[in-house]
Every structure is written in structure tokens, then in C-alpha cells.
Copies of this chain bind each other. A is one copy, B any other.
Amino acid sequence: MSTISDVAKLAGVSAMTVSRVINNSGYSSREARARVEAAIAELAYVPNALGRQLRSKQTKMLALVLSDIMNPFFTTIARGVEDVAGAHGFSVMFCNTDESETEEAQYLLMLVQRQVDGVLLVPASSSGKSLRMLSSHQMPVVVLDRRIQSRHVDSVRCDSEAGAYKLTEHLIGLGHRRIAVLTGRRSVSTSVDRVAGYRRALLDAGLNPDDALVRYGEYNQVDGHRMAQEILAVDPRPTAIFAANNFIAFGVMRALRETGLRVPEDMSIVAFDDVPAAWVGEPFLTVVDQPAYEIGRRAAELMLSRLEGRTSGAGRDVVLPSELIVRRSSGVPRAEVPVSAAPVDHAPTPDRRARGVPVVPAVTTGAAR
């Protein structure tokens, strides 16, 4: 490994001149430049970023701390972050917390030690402890996906409450009256926001929320399965289930399959998060799709514009809209339809994307709206 002074020696100039040539900073004569470049080529010299980083106090490195890179929602966010960061000469480190506050704290400490230039954080809890720790070290932060209290921090997320409202409204429009919701843990804002949107939709329709139909758990398939089993034992049984994320939805599907219930004839399912089109043969679930790539992209841009001094002042809270996509997993509840007239439609069904106007004709219910 040759160093900058090896190059300087070979080129017959000082290290400083070499530095200027490498970084295109300051002036340098054609001749000196040529000699330096020749020396660099001869030695196959590659500058050592560590020295530069130590001196300039910039690592050109961002960190993305999230719960699990295996979740397609986060994978997509990650790709958005990487694309933007890369275009600005920044690299990205990924850290999986698995929703554990302990893991999160350990990673954040490590990131501070490593002097990353900024942290993009999907907080494992809304306690704000992590944010305080980061700000005590003057570490720039953008919070992703979740709501936080602090007014000083930038955040980019999707409107969970509104998305949940849309899904619930859709089910009510189909005629459902008993709708269950299976969500994540109480300490995560998306979990509670989605329940809140669900409740508001029920109330707006003049329906009475039933706490027996609300379950909190983990955002994974195992817990989705468990919660679905519980909810299927409730009497009277709900006619529709709202899964607050994709993994929970798949756990629900499994539970229904095991119980022999058909979707949507015996039970409707709707969920948050779509599965990327590239990964599925025929999309089946009615979902609210979050703009995951956009969340990552916007978060990275916000971070970079702070770091490059193009943005300053109070924290921005960017809230992106979600989109309702109606597919075959949601239908009219059994009681509403004659048994003989419930054919399963297995023909190719293009997505009916709801844009503004609900695609499904609203069923007139007791209450307005």
C-alpha cells in the first residue's frame, strides 16, 4: 500500500500537491499534474479514506437502522436510500434491530463511534431515548416510517391513520359490520395509528368499536397466525380481518387455510403494505400500498440537504399518501349474499386501483358518509 508521500517522492513534488491533484482543489500546473498522475498510475496508488476522514471530519457514510431488512417494505426503503446516497457519493450501512431497543441502542453507539455523517432511523419504540442519545452527540437524524414527538427532528412517513381509515371504510362499504384488526406492538406509532384510523372509520359509519376485535402483537407471520386463531374464536365471529402489515396478513391467511375458511367468501382480508409486483404471480390481497421507495428516497434527500447545508431550521415532517388497491381478498360478507350466488372468480383480475373515488359502490348504511 503506497501512501501519498510515496507518490509525492516519485513525482518529485510535495504531498500537498498530490493532494490537490487528487481532489481537484486549488491550483496546480499542467506539468505537475501530469507528473503526479503518472506516479499515481505507476504505483497503483489509491488514497486512504481513513486519513481523509480523520482530517476532514466527514465519513461520507450514512446509516439506515431498521427492524428487519428481510421485510420487503424495508428492503424497498433501503434501496431508495442507497440510490440517493450513492448518487451523492455517500455509502450506507444497514443495521437490523429486530424491533429490539437494546439492539438499537448498541447499533447507535457503534454508529456514533464510527462517526457516520447521519442516521436514518426506524425507531424500535416511540420513547425518544434513542433520539436524545443521538442529539447529545450532535448526530443528524431523519426518522422513517414512524411518528415521534420531537419537533426538532425530520421525519418521513406514510399516513397510517388515513390508510387504515380507507381500508376499514372499504370493508364497511362492502357491508361488513364486525371487523377485526390485528396490529403490531403498542409502543410503535404505526400500530396505534392504524387502530386509530380503523376506529374513526367505524365511528364515522355509526358503528360501535368492539375492543374484543382488536389485537396487538408483533409485525410478523407467527404472531399474525396466533392473533388470527384467537380472533376466529370470538363469538360472534367477525366477517373481515384488517391486518396491520404484510407479515400479519400472511399469518392470517395461513390460519384461515388451516381452519378451512375461504377468502373472501367466508372471511375478507385487507392489509397494510403491498408485496412488490415483481415477486408475485397474481396479487390477491386488497391492500393499502405505502410508497416505500419514496420514503427512503425522500428521507435520504432530506438528510443530504441538511448535511450539505441546503436545508436548515426546524424539523420537517413529510407525510406521504398511501394508495388503496382493491383485489380479490375482500368481498361482500356471507350473510349479505345468497349461497347459490357466490362464485369464485379465478379469471385474471386486473387490479382495480382506487384513485380518489372508491371503486366499490358504497353500501348505504345507518349512518351518513
Contact = CB atoms under 8 A, between A and B. Distances in A.
B1 A280 contact: no
A164 B205 CA distance: 55
Nearest to A222: B278
A59 interface: yes
Interface in A70-85: 70, 72, 75-76, 78-79, 82
A260 B347 CA distance: 9
A356 interface: no
A276 interface: yes
A85 to B, nearest CB: 11
Interface in A138-185: 138
A275 interface: yes
23 contacts: A1-B138, A44-B137, A46-B109, A47-B113, A49-B113, A49-B114, A54-B54, A68-B79, A69-B69, A70-B75, A70-B278, A72-B279, A82-B96, A91-B95, A92-B93, A92-B94, A93-B93, A220-B278, A221-B277, A247-B278, A253-B281, A257-B282, A280-B280
Contacts of A69: 69, 75, 78-79, 82
Interface in A236-293: 246-247, 250, 253-254, 257-258, 260, 275-282, 284-285
Copies in the complex: 2
A115 interface: yes
Contact of A250 (B54, B260, B281): B281
A299 to B, nearest CB: 16
Interface string A201-224: 000000000000000000011000
Given A93-B93, A220-B278, A250-B278, 6 more contacts: A1-B138, A46-B112, A51-B54, A250-B281, A257-B348, A279-B279
A233 to B, nearest CB: 20
A50 interface: yes
Contacts of A25: none
A253 B282 contact: yes
A127 interface: no
A79 B109 CA distance: 21
Interface of A: 1, 44, 46-51, 53-54, 59, 68-70, 72, 75-76, 78-79, 82, 91-96, 109-110, 112-115, 136-138, 220-221, 246-247, 250, 253-254, 257-258, 260, 275-282, 284-285, 348
A47 B70 CA distance: 32
A68 B83 CA distance: 11
A46 B113 contact: yes
Contacts of A48: 113, 115
A348 B261 CA distance: 10
A331 to B, nearest CB: 16
Contacts of A51: 54
Contacts of A254: 281
The 8 closest A-B pairs by CB, nearest first: A253-B281, A49-B113, A221-B278, A50-B54, A49-B114, A257-B348, A46-B112, A50-B53
B70 A276 contact: yes
A255 to B, nearest CB: 11
